[in-house]
Amino acid sequence: MILNTGSRTDIPAFYSRWFMNRIREGYVLTRNPYYPKKIHRYLIDRDHVDMIVFCTKNPEPMLEYFPELSRFPMFWFVTITPYGKDIEPYVPDKHRVLESFRRLSQHVGTQACAFRYDPVFLSERYSREYHLRAFESICRELSGYTEFCVVSFIDLYEKTKKNFPEVREVDMQTQKEMCRSFSEIARRYGISVRMCLEDPSLSAYGVNTDGCMTREVLERALGESLHVPSSLQTRQGCRCLLGNDIGEYNTCLHGCRYCYANYDMKLVRQNAARHDPKSPLLIGWPEKDDEISDAKQVLYSSGQMKLDL
């Protein structure tokens, strides 16, 4: 089983102490986002978890725990974008995040971490030329520390439109032109570009459109073949392994205006105030009328070394 920590919130940035308590106790409880009274229990040990996947804008708080955490295979996505405090008010300084990424890579290896340049949108301040300069700067800083990056153009989810009403999608012709430029820039620094749930036709412009957290990506990080059920596909056209997420929506404190996981910051702060690092749940404690059941956990590792031919 792949334990996913990052599709609903940023656990490394804000809840690393809680997460390590879950590692030490060997289990975690997670509320179903659509049926909140239903809770799943996941066991966290090498008999039940093949790999832990993190997605964060700030890996630094978790780095101190690596001597303890490193018994688990991991894959890390670190989102590094060119936006300022007008768009990402509480994201740490990008130079600090870049340094944390380099330290992270030294722990897990270049095959087990990638940066996400995501999402891409255009405005008067954040023009296409601005993006290309910023993207090259990030690639230069991370050359030799990762094998690929993930690029994604903004999707207008309802929460995004509510919190960022002036944002607009990037038209297809501009996407094609930017993909060609992103690919050429990244290649100069030994980095390939993968797209996240974008039009497959963009592959003609030098990018990989197979997905970002696919079985093949995780196999390379793990060094073993994975036998993953085909039923794990969570979104049409997406080959990424996104299930088994232990996070909770409306809990990420970065405050990014494009965020699809937060309704508003008032609700986020209310939830964060209920967080207890000692609880098996990310937010609050189990209640008397909660229905707790054990999640189905099956190892996908084949035990056979994955060879890159």
Q: How far apart are CA 274 and CA 236, in angstroms?
A: 35
Q: How far apart are CA 286 and CA 154, in angstroms?
A: 36
Give the pLDDT confidence of 97-130 residue by residue, as tens digits. Answer: 999 999 999 999 999 999 999 999 999 999 999 9
Reported as a single tens digit per residue, the pLDDT across 15-60 is 999 999 999 999 999 999 999 999 999 999 999 999 999 999 999 9
Nearest to 15 by CA among 54, 67, 72: 54
More confident residue, 262 or 307: 262
> Encoding tokens for residue 242?
């996104």
Least confident of 29-33, 165-169, 191-195, 269-273: 165-169
**pLDDT of amino acid 233:** 55
Which residues of 175-232 form beta strands (DSSP E)?
Answer: 192-195, 224-226
Q: Could you give the CA distance from residue 88 to residue 209 in angstroms, rounded to a whole number? A: 27
Tokens (6 digits) for 185: 């820039």
Q: Are 29 and 39 in contact (CB under 8 A)?
A: yes
The pTM score is 0.94
Name the residue among 150, 294, 154, 269 with its Cα closest to residue 212.
150
Mean pLDDT along residues 123-142: 97
| pLDDT at 309 exceeding the cut of 50 | no
> Is it the case that residue 96 has pLDDT exceeding 80?
yes
| Model confidence band, residue 197 (pLDDT cutoffs 50, 70, 90) | confident
